[in-house]
Structure 1
Amino acid sequence: MMRWEASGLDTLEQQVDRWIAAHEEELLGDIRALVRHRSVSLRGEPGFGPGCRDALREMLSLGARYGLETEDADGLFGVLTLPGGPRTIGLWGHLDVVPEGDGWVYSPYECTRVGDFLIGRGVQDNKGPCVAALYALRCIRDLKLPMRSTLQQLVGCAEETGMEDAVRYAELHPLPDYNIITDCGFPVCYGEKGMLSVRLETEAVLPPFVLDFSGGSVANIVPDSAFLALSPDGFAPSLLEAPCPPLTVERQEDRILLRAAGLAAHAAFPEGSVNAIGVLCGALLQAGLFTGKAQRLLSFVHDLCASTDGSALGIACEDGESGALTCVCGVLRFSNGRVELELNIRYPVTADASLLRSQLLQRCGQENVLVTSFTDSAPNYQDKRSVFVRTLNESFNEITGERLEPFVMGGGTYARKLPNAVAFGPGLPTELSPLALPAGHGGCHSPDEAQSIPNLLLALKIYVLSLVRLDEALEQENAGESH
């Protein structure tokens, strides 16, 4: 857990510390109540499905219990309000979760406490943080801290499936003047790269002895497995005798399966990953199983997956604010001899999406590859010198004793769908080794998703003190502008 230093807010800090200590067990119990709902968002269903509806009702019930005004906004968001002045500061989070998947050591929806950790789907992303933000408003209300701003917490149910909830809410309802997304790491994320979702389709050039070809399941994850199924008649026996590492070869009744393994990572942070599709294509090229157009196709897919900078598509670029473009081929499907690829591209905040599209179309045209879908989610970028960003960042550093700078990331939060929005915590560096979990467990979308309790309590303190400081700073800025 990070430490905090004494500051000019000593008396207030002591009050907040005592309040948090007195309410810790209650806070953990409220997180457990939310985690018990399997709130996987379902597109096209009212309220995004029964699990999300139940979680939203639970959250609104908590808000009402703690003295906040509550509203179910068309099943899109729950809105919890602590009334103040005409200026509004919003805290945004989400109650929907990714599916739990397999391989858990602990029950995904029981919210198990292990030492100083909670384990369960959503404890980190994003139910635990939602409860921390709720308790920040509750603390401010209970301590009767003087606020000139109205504070709102807005909790959605479709963040993990494309943020349709935020888009529709923004069309139908007034938005806060300042928007803070509690679904990131500290300190302040003042920008998010643009996102391109691209689908490619190749010509039917693979020979008939290819029965199946597949890798990955979602576009925004570097795939850790891929396979090719061949008919025995078309297979080169030499590959069975001397398999090309790192392939594994399995002979079945009517086919031979070639499998490749990789190392998964989120498409926003692909550094250190290994794309299993690229591994498979590289081994097939090395084995010499294909010639002509089929060989050229495999070479194109291999190059696309072997790096994550977009150079294979002619779109590599970077800027000083947000770093380099990343490009991940997350899914490969096969049908009637054709290969379909799904790409997830995160581009710098100063890059031109239309230029990237033109460059991509040109490169794919050279390979006779068709671009069947191209969707752009524009970057989010705020002035890091603004009172909004500067106050939050300075508050974090003062409370923790750190000297961190605001940052830009490749990930995506509600901030990209909202005006005047930044992401601010609650993520803090966490050492999971005390849990002795298997490799790959403990992350926000992983089995045995884990949340450090001390870190979440520190985040709660940061939120309370930062909201007080932001309210004061905005009032001073407004007073200066009026003179």
Structure 2
Amino acid sequence: MHEKIIDAVKANKEIFLSGLRQIMQIESVEEKPKPEAPFGEGPKQALNQVLLLAENMGFQTGVVNHAVGYAQLGENNQDYIGVLGHLDVVPAGDGWNYPPFDLTFENGNLYGRGILDNKGPIISCLYALYTLKMLNIPLSKTIRVMFGTNEESGCHDIPLYLEKEHPPLYGFTPDCKYPAVYGERGLIDVTIKTCITDGSHASIEKIEADFTKSSVPDHMKIQFSDGQWKELFGKRSPSNAPELGENVITIFAREAGVFNGQFAYYLNWLEQGFHLKHNGEGLNLEYADEASGKLLLTPYKLEIEDEAVLLSVSMRYPISIKEETILQTLKANLPDNSKIIINRRMPSTQFDLNHPMLSVMKNIYEKCTGMDGTPVTTTGATYARFMPNTIAFGPSFPGQKGIAHNKDEYMSLSDLMKNMEIYALTIYELAK
């Protein structure tokens, strides 16, 4: 049966890409809420288009609280296997060589905002389920492919879903990496507010930059009180892969020029604590464990106020370490007159390593790729933190990092089709 499913997946390539293109062309970035569109018009438009595709495939469809839609094969609305992805995307940003809101194929790669994160993978799951439906394969469990619309901006769609629907018996989100991810690190996002009482920062009039918590910042312009500007450049990367980027905030701390007093001390602390020190070693935060590796931290925003400097930092810490430990150590290594403001916190998660779903995923992944399928942990934050009984599974293969949220976001066509194959076989094995 596996070979029959794989052949059918390959045969469905063109209709899959046609459907995917329709979704890629929608600019599904969060906007102001509207009636029946809690996260804006773009995400809702993408959801409506996906459900139209699913209806034309003959699936039962539904929308929950205008936030999460689903395509379902089977009649059990309470006990089902869930596949959960998202249609919302981060803003395109500048510097693209391809239209960000389209599907472009060139040199073996597909380009467009969301092709990896997460339109490509979740639409591949929809067509994987359609492949099983076309083959009339008898399944003993109901499968529900779910389409969220707010993953990039806080996952506020999942509580809306759970207000009215049961969570899945178990399932996965195709929004991380392979092999199966049984644990996600803790995440805490803080702003360090440091008072500067001697006016030594007053020569900075303003800072202009595209700061976002999801990325290492790569460009910053500073205007000084004499009208002069200083422009600095780094290299953007996802905030959970800071080693792939060059952080313009710490570059500024190193190259700021002549300052004195408290601000000079502050810039020295910023450089010594953060520049090229992604594992917290500059602040005595070099925590690690065998399961999830080293702590990662990323300064992502710098602001100047009348009597204070504000530095926002995202930290992802090992699953065995407590948040209180991180905060206590950080507090002990701050400049004078500093306080910590917590913006967001997500404790680490762990899924039962003995659950039979993990065994299925390991076997299918190894069969399809020839690589080791032993479950792993991640620095990322996915829907698995919010939807019960869910883990992350794919779509990125080992060694593929720093692609999502960047300009010219891409995924190779062969990798996307391999994902569709893996997902079709996994759904079949979980539901047969």
Q: What TM-score comes out, normalization by structure 1 length?
A: 0.83
Distance 1:87 1:174, change over 3 A: closer
CA distance in 1, matches of 2:71, 2:282: 47
Question: Which stretch shifts more, 332-341 or 310-319?
Answer: 310-319
Unaligned runs of at least 5 residues, structure 1: 1-11, 232-253, 433-439, 473-483
SS at match of 2:98: coil
Distance 1:210 1:457, change over 3 A: closer
CA distance in 2, matches of 1:103, 1:353: 37
CA distance in 1, matches of 2:400, 2:279: 30
Q: Shift of residue 84 of structure 1? A: 5.6
Instruction: Tell me the amino acid that sits aligned with residue 57 of structure 1.
Output: N
Q: Shift of residue 429 of structure 1? A: 6.2
Residue in structure 2 matching 1:41, options 30, 34, 47: 30
Residue in structure 1 matching 2:431, options 471, 476, 480: 471
Residue in structure 2 matching 1:340, options 301, 310, 317: 310
Find the counterpart in structure 1 of residue 219 from structure 2: 225
Instruction: Tell me the amino acid that sits aligned with residue 187 of structure 1.
Output: P
Find the counterpart in structure 1 of residue 252 from structure 2: 280
Q: Shift of residue 380 of structure 1? A: 1.9
CA distance in 2, matches of 1:89, 1:273: 38
CA distance in 2, matches of 1:280, 1:204: 18
Find the counterpart in structure 2 of residue 321 from structure 1: 291
Distance 1:154 1:89, change over 3 A: same
Residue in structure 2 matching 1:99, options 91, 97, 101: 91
Q: Shift of residue 259 of structure 1? A: 3.2
Task: Give the structure with the larger helix fraction.
Answer: 1
Deviations 1:402-448 (A, max 9, x none): 2242211101110111222111112236999xxxxxxx9xx322222
Matches within 5 A, 1:326-405: 326-364=296-334, 367-405=336-374
Find the counterpart in structure 2 of residue 144 from structure 1: 136
Find the counterpart in structure 1 of residue 113 from structure 2: 121
Maintained 8 Å contact 1:48/1:157 = yes
CA distance in 2, matches of 1:223, 1:107: 22
Find the counterpart in structure 2 of residue 246 from structure 1: none
CA distance in 2, matches of 1:343, 1:204: 19
- The structure whose Rg is larger is 1
CA distance in 1, matches of 2:363, 2:204: 59
CA distance in 2, matches of 1:73, 1:293: 53
CA distance in 1, matches of 2:373, 2:188: 29
Distance 1:264 1:447, change over 3 A: closer
Deviations 1:80-117 (A, max 9, x none): 11116674110000011111112222222231222433
SS at match of 2:195: coil
Maintained 8 Å contact 2:216/2:246 = yes
Residue in structure 1 matching 2:378, options 409, 413, 431: 409
Distance 1:90 1:371, change over 3 A: same
Q: How many residues align?
A: 426
SS at match of 2:359: helix
Q: Shift of residue 43 of structure 1? A: 5.2
Q: What TM-score comes out, normalization by structure 2 length?
A: 0.92
Find the counterpart in structure 1 of residue 60 from structure 2: 69
CA distance in 1, matches of 2:297, 2:218: 16
Unaligned runs of at least 5 residues, structure 2: none
Matches within 5 A, 1:156-171: 156-171=148-163
Q: Shift of residue 331 of structure 1? A: 0.6
Q: Shift of residue 392 of structure 1? A: 0.6
Distance 1:354 1:224, change over 3 A: same
Maintained 8 Å contact 1:275/1:305 = no
SS at match of 2:152: coil
| RMSD of Structure 2 on Structure 1 (CA) | 2.3
Distance 1:161 1:200, change over 3 A: same
CA distance in 2, matches of 1:196, 1:429: 25
Find the counterpart in structure 1 of residue 19 from structure 2: 30
SS at match of 2:230: strand
